Structure 1
Amino acid sequence: MSRESIAKAQVLIEALPYLQRYAGRTFVVKYGGHAMGDADAARDFAEDIVLLKAVGINPVVVHGGGPQIGEMLGKLGVETRFVDGLRVTDEATAKVAEMVLSGAINKELVGWIANAGGKAIGISGKDGGLVTAEKLQRTTRDPDSLIEKALDLGFVGDPTSVDTTLLDTASAAGMIPVVAPIARGLDGHTYNINADTMAGAIAAAIGAARLFLLTDVAGVLDKDGELVTDLTPARIAELREDGTVSGGMIPKLETCVSAVEAGCDAAVVLDGRVPHAMLLEFFTARGAGTLIRREA
């Protein structure tokens, strides 16, 4: 027997305790970033998702699509404006965002999963009352007067409630839900929601075993550029205070902390550009990203 065959068997044995522990549980996976535009990366991702379903774990995929929205807005001649890094979403932009997210991107991911042998169903937060949202409230501080003022970002939403009935039904029927981050508000308006935030809200509501945020970086890095493999909310606060964690990583970690404090077992930030990074993180002792869990 070849060494390669023996190595494959050893990998399966190493994965066995994880398979036994999480059979029947749910993983919520946020998929986005540059990997979405790479056919090889999309194929790897779809295969990973189908494998999870095949071994008895129920994956729920929540996807982003900011670059694709920007591209479509440009083609349609709709002006895009950002405030503090957040896209201002007027009525025209909201319609384009729903078209791109719930249409092209969502169905493309459903197709990739089908090509890998899985059965996926594409939905948005509006379907079956999955997610209800309200207008996102943000403030900004004037650099001269230091006075805080409210930011009007238009139809950008924040999840207020999640009804997991549709997800539960789809998973029990052997299907893989693929969710676009669009939701309806009690005011009747349609809101575009940050995909990380949407995934975190769903993971908390469903009591997921894991929330995976696939990003364009290896995870949380210390000041020497080394990967930090395990974090708690208290340690995250310390890293923010000393400047180790900054920029776009802050809202991702806030999402992870909110999810684990609200019912998700643990969350992981990892590099979605690495082939099969999610499987390496979950099914091996070494891991591949930064794990965030509640305080012991």
Structure 2
Amino acid sequence: MSTFNFNWFLDNCLPFIYKLRNKVIVIKYGGAAMKNNHLKAQVIKDILFLFSLGIKVVLVHGGGPFINDWLNLLNIEPKFENGIRTTDAKTMEVVEMVLVGKINKELVNLININDNIGIGLSGKDSNLLLASNMFNDSNNLVGKIDSVNIKVLTLLLDNGYIPVIASVASSCDLITYNINADTAAGTIAQALNAEKLVLLTDTPGILLDIKEPDSLQKKLDIDSVQDLCEHNIISGGMIPKVQCCLHALKNNVKTTHIIDGRIQHSLLFELLTSDRIGSQIVL
């Protein structure tokens, strides 16, 4: 719309605002959508708008393209298996440097331009995320989350802050692990009994044909998603995304969404309008 239509806003958005007010939404942000600085700033503005409506927002981020850039600069080959980054010791050092030292602080700075409400964390802070080795392989430091310290998150949310969490964690014996950001967001959403888990991705959502945007599935239940996985229609990097959605739905999260973070205001369209813009997965 070229001009703001107040009646349209009242009719379409207010019911969603009332429903989400004082509820917790966990948003995972990552992928190529983070590389466009203008778009990144707009995503943060949209998050701040949701916050201004009384919605409690937790932002969990990855940063795969940035990690790949730094690995290539250091002549370390990025490797993946089933959408999960294979992480040896050298790769882990780069992952932590990029996620915690660079991306996390950039996002926090964007949030704090207008108000001092962004708090940057990694899974290591206050043992927010305790992890162990997913594959029992000391040469592959991919972690699974064993526990979430919701006390620190509840403290921040109840006092008007937006936690911004980098998906790095450590174990009880102080080994640092790379946590898939989708999985981290899903596990945090479960621990907080979040109203919604939203994954901002590089695709429109779940497609029956990846070459056909019109094949977008706007609403699916768990059985439908599992059937698509079994027939390899959902594959590659989309697998951990849908798996974390399914697991979240089975563990106290009301609804999950996979949306295209490259589209301006996609977050607001998905959460505050009936047409939505991505794929919603429900029980």
Q: Secondary structure at the match of 1:115?
A: coil
Q: Secondary structure at the match of 1:133?
A: strand
Shift of 1:173: 1.5
Q: Secondary structure at the match of 2:147?
A: strand
Against the structure 1 CA distance between its residues 227 and 74, is the aligned structure 2 distance closer, same or farther, given a 3 Å change threshold?
closer
1:79 and 2:76 are equivalent in the alignment: yes
Unmatched 5+ stretches in structure 1: 138-149
| Structure 1 equivalent of residue 203 of structure 2 | 217
The TM-score with structure 2 as length reference comes to: 0.92
Shift of 1:185: 0.9
Shift of 1:81: 4.9
Q: Is the CA contact 1:87–1:153 (under 8 Å) kept in the aligned structure 2?
A: no
Cα shift readout 1:70-91 (whole Å, capped 9, x = no counterpart): 222333x352352535433222
Supply the distance in 1 between the matched residues of 2:90 and 2:258 (Cα, whole angstroms).
33
| Structure 2 equivalent of residue 269 of structure 1 | 258
Which residue, out of 145, 151, 175, partners 1:159?
145
Unmatched 5+ stretches in structure 2: none
Against the structure 1 CA distance between its residues 153 and 265, is the aligned structure 2 distance closer, same or farther, given a 3 Å change threshold?
farther
| Structure 1 equivalent of residue 112 of structure 2 | 114
Against the structure 1 CA distance between its residues 83 and 97, is the aligned structure 2 distance closer, same or farther, given a 3 Å change threshold?
closer
1:279 and 2:276 are equivalent in the alignment: no
Shift of 1:183: 0.7
Supply the distance in 2 between the matched residues of 1:73 and 1:4 (Cα, whole angstroms).
45
| Structure 2 equivalent of residue 50 of structure 1 | 48
Against the structure 1 CA distance between its residues 236 and 153, is the aligned structure 2 distance closer, same or farther, given a 3 Å change threshold?
farther
Q: Secondary structure at the match of 2:3?
A: helix
| Structure 2 equivalent of residue 93 of structure 1 | 91
Supply the distance in 2 between the matched residues of 1:83 and 1:26 (Cα, whole angstroms).
32
Supply the distance in 2 between the matched residues of 1:286 and 1:52 (Cα, whole angstroms).
18
Against the structure 1 CA distance between its residues 219 and 164, is the aligned structure 2 distance closer, same or farther, given a 3 Å change threshold?
same
Q: Secondary structure at the match of 1:29?
A: strand
Shift of 1:177: 0.5
1:290 and 2:276 are equivalent in the alignment: no
Supply the distance in 1 between the matched residues of 2:78 and 2:274 (Cα, whole angstroms).
44
Q: Is the CA contact 1:50–1:116 (under 8 Å) kept in the aligned structure 2?
A: no
Supply the distance in 2 between the matched residues of 1:173 and 1:283 (Cα, whole angstroms).
24
Supply the distance in 2 between the matched residues of 1:237 and 1:100 (Cα, whole angstroms).
34
The Cα RMSD (Å) is 1.9
1:197 and 2:183 are equivalent in the alignment: yes
Cα shift readout 1:187-238 (whole Å, capped 9, x = no counterpart): 3201111100100100111011110001111111124642111111111112
Which residue, out of 234, 237, 245, partners 1:245?
234
Which residue, out of 216, 232, 249, partners 2:221?
232
| Structure 2 equivalent of residue 143 of structure 1 | none
Paired residues, what number?
A: 278
1:4 aligned partner, one-letter code: T
Q: Which protein shows a greater Rg? A: 1
Q: Is the CA contact 1:210–1:267 (under 8 Å) kept in the aligned structure 2?
A: yes
Shift of 1:166: 1.1
Supply the distance in 1 between the matched residues of 2:116 and 2:194 (Cα, whole angstroms).
21
Q: Is the CA contact 1:43–1:116 (under 8 Å) kept in the aligned structure 2?
A: no
| Structure 1 equivalent of residue 193 of structure 2 | 207
Supply the distance in 1 between the matched residues of 2:239 and 2:89 (Cα, whole angstroms).
28
The TM-score with structure 1 as length reference comes to: 0.88
Q: Secondary structure at the match of 2:131?
A: strand
Against the structure 1 CA distance between its residues 83 and 40, is the aligned structure 2 distance closer, same or farther, given a 3 Å change threshold?
closer
Supply the distance in 2 between the matched residues of 1:273 and 1:191 (Cα, whole angstroms).
28
Q: Secondary structure at the match of 1:104?
A: helix
Supply the distance in 2 between the matched residues of 1:116 and 1:235 (Cα, whole angstroms).
43
